[in-house]
C-alpha cells in the first residue's frame, strides 16, 4: 500500500489517529443510549435529547475549528497543535461521561451525561477537523491520498472492532452497572489517548506540499457553508455521506438492543461487532483495488448496495439461525468497509481540486463542514433509534431487567434493519450525481450557477 512519496511510516502514523477516533465514534454510539435507558433509567425520548444536543452544538463549533486550523496551517505550516489539544482533552471528558454518580436523581444524571458528552464532542472536533484536512495538504497525488485513506480505514476498522467488542466485554468484566461502565471508560480513554497522541507525534515530520494558493479569508459560519454548498461535487459527496452516517449510526446504536431483545442475549453484541468488522478489514485492500481500477464513485455505489441488501435481509432475523444472522451482518461489513473508505478518499481529492481551481487553501473550512455533517449523522442516527423505541413503547430501567412489550421488540428490529436500509437507499441517487472521478481533476468544480462567495 506504499505510495511513491510519503512512505509506509507516514501512512501508519497518520492512520494511528483513526484508532483514537474509532473509540469516540464507536463506544458512545454503541453504549451511550443503552447506558442512559438501561442503567440510569432515562426515558428513551429524553435519552434522544441527551445524545443529540452535543452533536448539534458541534455543527456550530466544527466550522470554527476549521477556520482556526486553516490559520494555523497558513501561519505555522502545521495543524498539529489541534491534534495535541484534542488528544489531551477528549480522554478526560470521556471518562467523566460514563462516571455518573449513583446518588444523582434521573434528571440530574441525564444532565451530567449531557454536559460531559458536550465537552467530549468539542474535544473530538479539535482533533478530527485538522486530521481530515491533512491528506489534501501533504501530498499532491490522488493515488497517495487513496492509499492514505485505505490505511486509515483499515486502522479505523481495527479500532471499531477493538472498541466494539472490547467495550461491552470490559463493562461486563467490571460487573456491569455503574462500576462496569467506569472500568470500560478508563480503558477506552487510555487507548483513545494512545492513538491520537501517537498520530500527533508521528506526523511531526510531514510538511504541506508547496502549492500556489493562499489562505482563504476568515469567513462567518454562514459563508463557510455557502463556500461548501457552492462546490457541486462536495455537495453531493457530503449529502450521500450524511445519509450513510445516519444509517450506520442507527445500526450501531441499535446493535445492543438487537442483541438483547431480538436475539435474547446481551453479550451477543460482541459477536455481532466481530461479524461486522472482521470482513471489513479483510476486504479493505480489495475495495482500494476497485477504486483504482473502476473509480471511487463506482466502488462507493457497489459498497452501498451490499450494505443495503444485508440490512434488509436481517429483517428476517427472528426466523433465522444465529449463523445466518452473522453471515448477513458480515455482508453488511463488506459494504461498510467501502462506504467508509471511498468518501474519505474522495474528500481530499475534492478539496485539492478546489484549491487548484480557486487559488485558495480552505481545506479546514471544507473539512469543518464535512465533520459537522458526519457529526449530525452519527448523532441523529442513534436519536432516531431512540425515537423509534419511544414510539414502540420501550420501557427504561435502572440496572434491572424488565419485560418489554412485543411492540418494543418489533421497534428494535425495525430500528436495526429497515431504518438503516431506507437511509442507504436514499443516498444512492445522490452518489450517482457525483462526477465520475476517473475524469481526474474535475472532482471539485463549482456550479456555474452558484453565487459568488461574499468576501469580508
Residue 64 lies in a domain: yes
pLDDT in tens, 187-205: 999 999 999 999 888 877 6
Each residue's pLDDT tens digit, 261-296? 998 887 788 888 888 878 877 887 888 888 888 888
Domain enclosing residue 333, as ranges: 8-203+218-442
Residue 456 inside a domain? The answer is: no
pLDDT of residue 111: 96
Nearest to residue 237, comparing CAs of 125, 116, 366?
366
Q: Which run of H or of E encompasses 214?
A: strand 214-215
Asked if residue 208 belongs to a domain, the reply is no
For residue 261, the 8-state DSSP code is: I
User: Contacts by 52-55 with C-beta closer than 8 Å and gap 24+?
Assistant: 52/379, 52/380, 52/383, 53/114, 53/118, 54/114, 54/117, 54/118, 54/120, 54/121, 54/122, 54/379, 55/121, 55/375, 55/376, 55/378, 55/379, 55/380
Contact 151, 14 (CB under 8 A): yes
Contact 354, 444 (CB under 8 A): yes
Q: What is the mean pLDDT of the chain?
A: 81
Domain membership of residue 332 (yes or no) is yes
Helices 363-392 and 322-358: crossing angle, nearest 10°? 150
Q: C-alpha angle 10/15/19, rounded to 5°?
A: 150
CA–CA separation, 396 vs 122, rounded Å?
28
pLDDT band at 5 (very low <50, low <70, confident <90, very high): low
pLDDT of 61 reads: 82
Predicted confidence (pLDDT) per residue in 73-113, tens digit: 666 666 778 889 999 999 999 999 999 998 999 999 999 99
Instruction: Judge whether 355 lies within some domain.
Output: yes
| C-alpha to C-alpha distance for 30 and 250, rounded to whole angstroms | 9
**Residue 288: which CATH number?**
1.20.1250.20
Please list the residues that pair with 360 across neighbouring strands. Answer: 214
Asked, for residue 336, whether it belongs to a domain, the answer is yes
Assess if residue 451 is contained within a domain. no
Using left for φ > 0, alpha for ψ between -120 and 50, and beta otherwise, residue 208 falls in beta
Residue 450 is classified by DSSP as: S
pLDDT tens column, 385-433: 999 999 999 988 775 567 888 999 999 999 999 999 999 999 999 999 8
pTM of the model: 0.74
Domains identified in the chain, total number: 1
The answer to whether residue 453 sits within a structural domain is: no
Amino acid at each position: 500500500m506504499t505510495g511513491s512519496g510519503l512512505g509506509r511510516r507516514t501512512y501508519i502514523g497518520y492512520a494511528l489517529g483513526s484508532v483514537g477516533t474509532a473509540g469516540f465514534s464507536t463506544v458512545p454510539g454503541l453504549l451511550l443510549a443503552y447506558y442512559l435507558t438501561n442503567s440510569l433509567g432515562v426515558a428513551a425520548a429524553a435519552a434522544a435529547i441527551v445524545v443529540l444536543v452535543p452533536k448539534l452544538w458541534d455543527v456550530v463549533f466544527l466550522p470554527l475549528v476549521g477556520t482556526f486550523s486553516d490559520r494555523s496551517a497558513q501561519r505555522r505550516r502545521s495543524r498539529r497543535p489541534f491534534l495535541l489539544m484534542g488528544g489531551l482533552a477528549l480522554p478526560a471528558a470521556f471518562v467523566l461521561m460514563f462516571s455518573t454518580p449513583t446518588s444523582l436523581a434521573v434528571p440530574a444524571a441525564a444532565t451530567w451525561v449531557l454536559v460531559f458528552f458536550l465537552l467530549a464532542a468539542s474535544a473530538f472536533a479539535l482533533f478530527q477537523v485538522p486530521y481530515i484536512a491533512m491528506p489534501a495538504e501533504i501530498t499532491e497525488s490522488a493515488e497517495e491520498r487513496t492509499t492514505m485513506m485505505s490505511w486509515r480505514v483499515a486502522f479505523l476498522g481495527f479500532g471499531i472492532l477493538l472498541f466494539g467488542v472490547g467495550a461491552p466485554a470490559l463493562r461486563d468484566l467490571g460487573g456491569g452497572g455503574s462500576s462496569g461502565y467506569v472500568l470500560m471508560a478508563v480503558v477506552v480513554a487510555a487507548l483513545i489517548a494512545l492513538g491520537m497522541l501517537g498520530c500527533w507525534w508521528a506526523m511531526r515530520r510531514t510538511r504541506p506540499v508547496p502549492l500556489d494558493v493562499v489562505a482563504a479569508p476568515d469567513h462567518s459560519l454562514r459563508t463557510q457553508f455557502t463556500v461548501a454548498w457552492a462546490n457541486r461535487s462536495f455537495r453531493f459527496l457530503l449529502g450521500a455521506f450524511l445519509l450513510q452516517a445516519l444509517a450506520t449510526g442507527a445500526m450501531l446504536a441499535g446493535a445492543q438492543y438487537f442483541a438483547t431483545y431480538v436475539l435474547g442475549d446481551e453479550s451477543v453484541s460482541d459477536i455481532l461487532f466481530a461479524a461486522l468488522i472482521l470482513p471489513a478489514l479483510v476486504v479493505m485492500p480489495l475495495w482500494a483495488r476497485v477504486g483504482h481500477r473502476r473509480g471511487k464513485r463506482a466502488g462507493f455505489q457497489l459498497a452501498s448496495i451490499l450494505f443495503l441488501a444485508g440490512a434488509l435481509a436481517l429483517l428476517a432475523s427472528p426466523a433465522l439461525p444465529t449463523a445466518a444472522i452473522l453471515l448477513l451482518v458480515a455482508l453488511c461489513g463488506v459494504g461498510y468497509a467501502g462506504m467508509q473508505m471511498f468518501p474519505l478518499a474522495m474528500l481530499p481529492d475534492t478539496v485539492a481540486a478546489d484549491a487548484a481551481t480557486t487559488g485558495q487553501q480552505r481545506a479546514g473550512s471544507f473539512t469543518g463542514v464535512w465533520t459537522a455533517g458526519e457529526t449530525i449523522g452519527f448523532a441523529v442516527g442513534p436519536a432516531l433509534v431512540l425515537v423509534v423505541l419511544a414510539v414502540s413503547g420501550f420501557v427504561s430501567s435502572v440496572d434491572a431487567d424488565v419485560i418489554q412489550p412485543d411492540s418494543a421488540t418489533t421497534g428494535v428490529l425495525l430500528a436495526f434493519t429497515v431504518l438503516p436500509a431506507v437511509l442507504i437507499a436514499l443516498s444512492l441517487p445522490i452518489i450517482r450525481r457525483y462526477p465520475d472521478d476517473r475524469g481526474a481533476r474535475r472532482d471539485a468544480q463549482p456550479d456555474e450557477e452558484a453565487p459568488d462567495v461574499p468576501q469580508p
